Chains A and B, each alone.
Chain A
Amino acid sequence: MKAFFRIFPLFAVALIPLSSSQAFAQAWVYAGTNLGQQSKIHLAAADFKPVGADPQTPVLKAVFDATLFNDLSNAGIFDMVSKSLAPQAMPGSPQEINLPQWAAPPANAGMVAFGALSVNNGRIIVYGWLDSTAGGSNPQVLGKQYNEEANQQMARTIAHRFADAIIQQLGGIAGIAETKIYFVSSRTGSKEIWVMDYDGENQHPVTHLGSISLYPRISPDNSRIAFESLDRDGWSVRMYSMDLGRMVSFPGGGVGGSNLDPSWTSDGYRIAFSSARTGISEIWVANGDGGNMHRVTSLPGPNVQPCWNPKTNAQIAFAGGRTGEPQIYIMDQDGSNIQRMTDSGYAVSPSWSPNGQLLTFSWNRAYGPGAPGGQDIYVFNIATMQWLQVTHGSGNNDYPTWSPDGRHIVFQRAYGHRTDIWSMLADGTQQQQLTHSGDNMEPDWSWK
């Protein structure tokens, strides 16, 4: 009997691990590879249901529907169900939608974005849902609600926000629908810095300096634009504050009369630019307020157009002319470990992708394969030294920059007598012209 009481606690302790393994009824899911995965999600964007009798509702709803559909098609990760194939229904809430109708042919939608839009007292109110048609008792993936001032710009902004939420949920990377593109336009008579939404809407000027202002680069926190401007002292790197709405000083940015091509690090602390104050263009680095300005390269030949590696902020890509024609080089931020990327031809305007793995630049090669002979945009994998030509046969393409999601490139195309801003997916598909009047060049995609 005594032995029992001695041994029983040990026995009880031994039983504990056996009992705790299934103590809580956790839900288990079993999944695996080779289980029928489609690479592009079939997404249907239904027209939103108008609610209420406000006269502004139809106008704003049309803008909203068009913007939402465009944003989702531009994302590059969806196979959008064409509106002509989608059911004509306008479900305004999850109770109203008939999901099997959307999943059936000809729509074959895997996901449906729908909702209701109403205007009330000068406010636009949008309820948006994203439902999956894959069955199950809880098809809702997203539910969002927006309330903003009732005008077309805010209708577009709400559509951008809803599209971003869908892209983030289904694509894993934050969407770019609310980002801006800064560019140079000569529409007002002089070359000034302009800004537009990423889809080409809402184009308006930022600077009004009256001289020549080029190469805008917005800071990562959207507070300042660094650009190169010509004044009586020559070319200098100057700063415009978006918060204050006026120019702010960048001391040392005008020394020597030939300071060009600013580029921000992804943390916004430092700027690299090219300066010829020592006689020939070299790459210089300074803090965002102009402090600690120092030279980084001492190579022969002009070295221009620096671009930081946004992933590490420890490398700079630039165009160097020491072999005669400009070639793309990358180096560490202190000027060491210079590696040459292009082997011949005329290569300029490097831009580093957000994941730090790819470069895009403008290159005029003289040999195949590909379609050589023109100034075209190339995407270059730094690790494998392989390149992909993404534009061909359409004018002179230059000044490419990456979007913050790493999926899109915006660039300048000079075709015929016009120079315009174009954007495309990074594999060369879905090329679209964003500007249609005046001469527009040297775009820069904002960081967020």
Chain B
Amino acid sequence: MEILLEGGEQLERELAPEPVVAPAAGSLLLHGVLAAVLVFYGVIGGLFHRQIWGNPGQGGAMQVNLVSSPLPLPNDQPVNQNVLSTETPSHAPAPPAPKATQKIDEKAIPILGRPQKPQKETVHRTPPHQPTPTRPNVVPYGEQAGSWMQRSIPQTGTNGPTTVNNGNFGTMFPWYVQQINDRMAQNWYKSSVDSSTPRGSRVYLTFTINRDGSVANGRIAQTSGSPTLDTTCMQALQRVGAFPPLPSAYNQSTLMVSYYCEY
């Protein structure tokens, strides 16, 4: 009898339906919390912009010029759109463009109260027929010197002395300092610098010149804040490659140079 009763209880227990509602509700609640956390994370995280791409700060459009190697000749004429070279380039400026004649606006409302200037009666006459001269299909040379061909980039700027530190290398060998200036300036492509760089910003490079003129330890000592200016100045140093050998009268083995590129 007891066995039957126990079996009955067991059967009753087995036949009783599983509790569904509570676990389901719990599961739903848990999933809902998870979903809410995900959404919350996405929304709140989106409010804080972190660095995913690129450098911090403003990006600027960089003007890219195809800088192919220029002709190794000095540039004493400005680069322009001329395609015809001249054998004797002229330093004279081009003739000025003809002044545009002032047009009388017929629709203008005349100003009342002002005495009108008497308009001259122009007799309309047909001009005698003249053959219009055909515009010659040549660029008149001598009026525009220089051409598109880059040689060395012309440098604009004020003259100024080169400051010299101890060792007075600059006073002993000013011609060598001039050569450093010349070679760096010829290889610095100012047009590759971002045009939003503030005028007057400078990047300072330091490098060492060995006895044979080779360059070592070129690096940026003080950045200008403009990455394009920094890069073009370092590229100028790489383009120079090597300077002339140090003067024989200079008795040290190396020369330290601090060079700035100013935009």
Give the B-binding residues of A (Cβ under 8 A): 25-37, 39-40, 76-77, 111, 132, 134-141, 169-173, 355, 357-358, 367-372, 379, 381-384, 386-390, 392, 405-407, 425-431
Contacts and interface: CB of A to CB of B under 8 A. Distances in A.
A379 B66 CA distance: 17
B205 to A, nearest CB: 9
Nearest to B190: A33
A405 B172 contact: no
B69 A369 contact: no
Interface stretch (B54-62, B108-116, B126-134, B176-184): B176-184
A429 B158 contact: no
Contacts of B202: 32
A136 B174 contact: yes
A76 B147 CA distance: 17
Contacts of B169: 27-29
B11 interface: no
B139 A29 contact: no
B157 to A, nearest CB: 3
A429 B84 CA distance: 12
Given A136-B174, A138-B249, A390-B85, A31 B68 contact: no
Given A25-B166, A369-B84, A390-B85, A30 B72 contact: no
Given A140-B249, A368-B137, A31 B148 contact: no
B181 A37 contact: yes
Interface of B is mostly: loop
B167 A33 contact: no
A235 B213 CA distance: 50
Q: Which residue among B83, B84, B177, B252 has the maximum number of chain A CB atoms within 10 Å of its CB?
A: B84
Interface stretch (B2-10, B21-29, B39-47, B255-263): B255-263
B87 interface: yes
A427 B167 contact: no
B258 A379 contact: no
Contacts of B171: 135-137
A5 B181 CA distance: 53
Contacts of A370: 83-84, 138-139
Contacts of B183: 172
Given A36-B160, A427-B85, A132 B174 contact: yes
B86 A428 contact: yes
Contacts of A25: 166-167
A169 B148 CA distance: 28
B257 A427 contact: no
Contacts of A28: 164-167, 169, 256-258
Contacts of A37: 155, 178, 181-182, 185
A173 B73 CA distance: 10
Nearest to A389: B84
Contact of B83 (A111, A388, A406): A388
Contacts of A386: 83, 148-149
30 contacts: A25-B166, A27-B167, A27-B252, A28-B164, A28-B169, A29-B164, A29-B170, A29-B257, A30-B164, A30-B257, A30-B259, A31-B184, A31-B257, A32-B181, A32-B202, A32-B262, A33-B181, A35-B159, A36-B160, A76-B73, A136-B171, A370-B138, A370-B139, A381-B149, A426-B71, A427-B71, A429-B85, A429-B88, A429-B89, A430-B87
Contacts of B188: 33
Contacts of A27: 165-169, 250, 252, 255-256
Nearest to B202: A32
A384 B174 contact: no
B177 A31 contact: yes
Given A368-B138, A371-B84, A427 B247 contact: no
B147 A32 contact: no
A30 B74 contact: no
B185 A33 contact: yes
Nearest to A384: B66
Contact of B158 (A34, A132, A136): A34
A105 B146 CA distance: 28
A388 B154 CA distance: 20
Contacts of B68: 357, 381-384
A428 B87 contact: yes
